[in-house]
Structure 1
Amino acid sequence: MRGDDEREVQLQGGTTNHGRVVRVGDTVRRPLRPSSPATHALLEHLERVGFPGAPRFLGIDDHGREVLSYVPGTAVTPPHPSWALTDEALVSVAHLLRDYHRAVAGLDPRPHPWPASPPPDFAGELVSHNDVNLDNVVFRGGRAVALIDFDLASPGSRVWDVACAVRLWAPLRPDRHIDDARRGRALRRLRLFADAYGLEDGDRDRLAAAVRANHEWCYDVVTTAAANGHAAFARYWWAGGASRRAADTHQWYLESAGLLRDALS
């Protein structure tokens, strides 16, 4: 019989590997992917440079799963707690992302088999996380302390990651699709995130275009997976109403590009 430190406990959150990520003691076990060697090289780099805000890669277990260190804290999963939607939490996410970019800047991505990179206009600067969703950020004491789930990480850019994060955390979408305390505050939170990150003027000028491109890129990942038979993504896209929200948000980006740029100036 397994002891308590060997019992597998399924972890909540995530869509790609839904139901397949478990905690065993102080470790997390996840399925391997064709790009896993790249992810492991990224995590090993972050460990070497002393970045504390990511899991450590510990090896492969007897079941062929990657073994990562467990990051203590709380990931923001539905129903989203009110503290995670505050401006203070938003600022801490911006600071964490800035610190990650500083830590990863010295990694040479060329030897590794990465997933698909962002569009060429937003790729090649550094290895971006590419999925700074709410449930991929770990908090302790109301402050963001770690990024998890680096499955989509690939050569991208700072502005691309900022676009991904602020699109989801502000959030940048029509108010009718925001049903919490952030409603009516998206543009102010966009400016707050960019300021807290310290986004440079050139990237501020590109951020509105990056947000729209990131929205299209991310939903291409979702629809491709759904079309290829991924049940969780298919449920999310069709039964979960994501297809309608995505279309509404795309139109909002077209109509609101000037508002996004003005909010950042």
Structure 2
Amino acid sequence: MTNEDVLQDHAHRQVVRVGDTVRRPVQPWTETVHALLRHLEAVGFPYAPRALGIDEKGREVLSYIDGESGPLGWAKVVEDDGLTAFARLLREYHDATASFVPPDNAAWAFGATESNDREVICHGDFGPWNVVWQGQQPVGLIDFDFARPAARLHDIGYALQYIAPFRDDTECTRWLRYPQPPDRRRRLQRFCAGYGLLSTADTADIVDAVIREQRANVERVRRLADAGHEPQATWAADGYLRDLEEKVAWSQAHRHLFESG
């Protein structure tokens, strides 16, 4: 009997490791994500898992990427080098997806944005927890369930809310591994420089993008919860939507912490 090491054991999803592979439940968008992963392999993007098909239990099979991820990822982006590496990884990923042509029957968890908004295939959940690290270097990008065609700024805004971060001082020091309240403006500028997004002299447009993405995330979670998807349904029942709305309000009230003077 093949040994299965449980990597994630939530009520809605169990993820296991079998040898050098990861097995995860199939979703309606799995086939589309596998097409994306095959494209990333073909263009030489080295950080994504390889799509290896479906196993005898009906689970998707992906190659395993060895390293630290999940909650351990938060500490990796506190220092400047990790923050820059994180931004460069997102840029490399976006550039690698720009030539991807989705299959005719493509299905996405959140649905695609308007076609004229499509620049790349956004990861959709680009946070420190979904990067695999060896030491201070990212070696993998995982969990593409929420990938979708969209503008680059969707992923950029999503990532920045967590790593600038658009969070109060208490959350930064208690949960996000910061030894002291961060210089949010400098961190936002450093991320933008690492991505190669723009001159770091003007950040107002980026702050707008973050707040738009925060609002959009509230609606995505609400939509999935209303459709009965987990864990979003449980999150909504536990009051998570209210927490997300409070974070939007905090960002609006404290945008001066991020904008260039």
| 2:213 is the alignment partner of 1:214 | yes
Contact 2:108-2:148 at 8 Å conserved across structures: yes
CA distance in 1, matches of 2:243, 2:144: 25
Find the counterpart in structure 2 of residue 61 from structure 1: 55
CA contact (8 A) 2:117 2:150 kept: yes
| TM-score, normalised by the number of residues in structure 2 | 0.85
* Conserved 8 A contact 1:76-1:84: no
User: Residues 214 and 42 of structure 1: is their aligned pair in 2 closer, same or farther, counting only changes over 3 Å?
Assistant: same
Residue pairs, 1:218-237, within 5 angstroms? 218-230=217-229, 232-237=231-236
CA distance in 2: counterparts of 1:48 and 1:230, whole angstroms: 32
| Distance of aligned partners of 1:116 and 1:230 in 2 relative to their CA distance in 1, 3 Å threshold | closer
Alignment of 1:93-112 (within 5 A): 93-109=86-102, 111=104, 112=106
Mapped to 1, the partners of 2:77 and 2:203 lie a distance apart of 25
Indicate if the aligned counterparts of 1:137 and 1:146 stay in contact, CA closer than 8 A.
yes
CA distance in structure 2 between the aligned counterparts of 1:23 and 1:152, rounded to whole angstroms:
21
Q: Aligned ranges for residues 3-82 of structure 1 at < 5 Å?
A: 6-12=2-8, 19-77=13-71, 82=75
The 1:134/1:164 distance shift into structure 2, 3 A limit, reads same
What does the per-residue CA deviation read over 1:102-134, in whole Å, with 9 as the maximum and x for residues that have no partner? 211111136222233465499311111011122
Identity of aligned residues (%): 37
Counterpart-to-counterpart distance in 2, 1:100 and 1:257: 28
Question: 1:35/1:63 Cα in 2 relative to 1: closer, same or farther (>3 Å)?
Answer: same
Change (3 A) 1:259 1:77: closer
Cα 1:122–1:188 shift into 2, 3 Å? farther
CA RMSD of aligned residues (A): 2.9
Unaligned runs of 5+ in 2: none
Contact map agreement 2:221 2:241 (CA 8 A) in 1: no
Deviations 1:163-216 (A, max 9, x none): 111211222123343224163322221111111111035996642222112112
Q: Is the 8 A contact 1:164 1:211 kept in 2?
A: yes
Q: For 1:153 and 1:76, how far apart are their aligned partners in 2?
A: 18
Give the aligned partner of residue 198 of structure 1: 196
- 1:81-96 matches, within 5 Å, as 82-96=75-89
1:151 aligns with 2:145: yes
User: Residue 138 of structure 1 aligns to which amino acid in structure 2?
Assistant: V
C-alpha distance in structure 2 between counterparts of 1:251 and 1:205, whole Å: 17
Partner of 1:185: 183
Distance (Å, rounded) in 2 between the aligned partners of 1:39 and 1:121:
18
Aligned to 2:155: 161
Which whole-Å CA distance do the structure 2 matches of 1:199 and 1:103 have between them?
Answer: 16
2:132 to 112, 134, 138: 138
TM-score by length of 1: 0.84
- 8 Å contact kept, 2:77–2:163: no
CA contact (8 A) 1:133 1:168 kept: yes
Kindly state the Cα deviation for residue 230 of structure 1 after the two structures are TM-superposed. 4.9
Task: Check whether the contact 2:74–2:129 (CA below 8 A) recurs between aligned residues.
Answer: no
CA shift for structure 1 position 92: 0.9
Shift, 1:259, TM fit = 4.8
